[in-house]
């Protein structure tokens, strides 16, 4: 349904291999385990990963904040690099799902972690703290700040 890429990544694999790649993901594992599996097949150069550190050192220094993702598919023993298009095709997953995993990967989080930390998310703590601070500031007597600004 999606057209092949210029590099013809999907033509690197025969039908049997495609079936194998596909079944490695869909083997009855829970959804969050699928996501973890997929995330393990992604790499971003925005964060330093030990096994690629030496090879990509120069590129990391040049563009530390650029989120560039590399995708792999899992064959029996080796991981084969493919483009995003092929990654989506071979695993029959949505662009949206990959985007979410990309985002988590950039932050150094795994899909599993996110579930566990749901109730203590930093954003909600920040919002609560901000409200408390606002209340605290509002409770200051008006005259103090007014007096300070005059001089």
Q: Pattern 67-96, binding to Zn ion, x per CB under 5 A?
A: ----------------x--x----------
Q: Is 7 in the site for Zn ion (CB under 5 A)?
A: yes
Nearer to Zn ion, 41 or 86 (CB): 86
Single residue of 5, 42, 60, 80 touching Zn ion by CB under 5 A: 5
| Rounded Cα gap, residues 136 and 143, in angstroms | 15
Q: Is 9 in the site for Zn ion (CB under 5 A)?
A: yes
CB of 2 to Zn ion, least distance (A): 11
> What DSSP line would sit under 94-128, residue for residue?
-HHHHHHHHHHHHTT--HHHHHHTGGG-HHHHHHH
| Rounded Cα gap, residues 66 and 64, in angstroms | 6
Nearer to Zn ion, 60 or 83 (CB): 83
| Rounded Cα gap, residues 80 and 47, in angstroms | 21
Q: Pattern 35-74, binding to Zn ion, x per CB under 5 A?
A: ----------------------------------------
Size of site (CB under 5 A) for Zn ion? 5
Task: Give the position of tokens 């932050």.
Answer: 107
Per DSSP, the three-state class of 1 is: coil
Q: Helix %, strand %, coil % for the chain, to 5?
A: 60, 10, 30
Nearer to Zn ion, 60 or 80 (CB): 80
In the complex, which residues of this chain contact Zn ion (CB under 5 A)? 5, 7, 9, 83, 86
């Amino acid at each position: 349904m999606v057209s092949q890429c210029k590099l013809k990544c999907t033509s690197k694999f025969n039908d049997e291999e495609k079936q194998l790649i596909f079944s490695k993901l869909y083997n009855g594992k829970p959804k969050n385990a699928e996501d973890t599996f997929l995330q393990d097949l992604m790499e971003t150069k925005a964060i330093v990963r030990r096994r690629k550190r030496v090879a990509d050192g120069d590129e990391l220094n040049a563009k530390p904040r650029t989120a560039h993702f590399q995708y792999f598919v899992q064959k029996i023993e080796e991981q084969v690099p493919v483009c995003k298009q092929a990654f989506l095709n071979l695993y029959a997953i949505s662009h949206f799902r990959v985007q979410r995993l990309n985002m988590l990967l950039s932050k150094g989080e795994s899909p599993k972690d996110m579930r566990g930390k749901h109730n203590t998310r930093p954003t909600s703590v920040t919002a609560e703290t901000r409200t408390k601070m606002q209340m605290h500031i509002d409770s200051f007597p008006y005259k103090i700040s007014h007096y300070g600004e005059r001089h």
